[in-house]
Structure formats: structure tokens, C-alpha cells
């Protein structure tokens, strides 16, 4: 299993999914969420391995109107 940590929530998904697939499976939008493992940003096509622990971070943007 792979542990995904988003804010104060922990999700478990099967190994072998891509980062993008894993985010979708737990109901997060991969377009606005970053994945970090061991301090390194992961590409959405990275295959998650058994025992991985991935921190998910919501991207916040803003600007002048």
C-alpha cells in the first residue's frame, strides 16, 4: 500500500498507480495538487511503489483582477 497525506487526512491506495491515478482515486484534483516524496516533487506519471509515503499539497494561486 501507499500512504497519501493531505492536510490532516491519510489515505491508502494500492501500489502501482500513477500519482495522477492515486489523486483521482481519493477524490483530489490532480490539476491543482502537488505530490512530494522525500522532499522531491513527483511528476503526475510517476508510478507509486509499495511503502511510499507521499505528501499532497493544494496549489493556491491568486492575482489582481
Q: Tell me, what's the pLDDT at 7?
A: 95
Over residues 28-37, the mean pLDDT reads 96
pLDDT of residue 23 exceeding 90, the answer is yes
- Of 45, 65, 48, the closest CA to residue 2 belongs to 48
For range 4-9, the mean pLDDT: 96
Per the prediction, the chain carries an average pLDDT of 94
Q: What homologous superfamily is domain 2-58 in, according to CATH? A: Beta-grasp domain (3.10.20.30)
SS3 31: helix
**Domain residue limits, the chain:** 2-58
CA 23 to centroid of chain Cα atoms: 5
Amino acid at each position: 500500500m501507499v500512504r497519501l497525506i493531505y492536510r490532516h487526512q491519510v489515505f491508502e491506495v494500492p501500489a502501482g498507480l500513477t500519482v495522477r491515478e492515486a489523486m483521482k482515486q481519493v477524490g483530489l484534483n490532480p490539476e491543482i495538487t502537488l505530490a512530494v516524496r522525500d522532499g522531491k516533487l513527483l511528476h503526475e506519471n510517476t508510478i507509486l511503489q509499495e511503502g511510499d509515503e507521499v505528501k499532497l499539497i493544494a496549489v493556491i494561486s491568486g492575482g489582481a483582477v
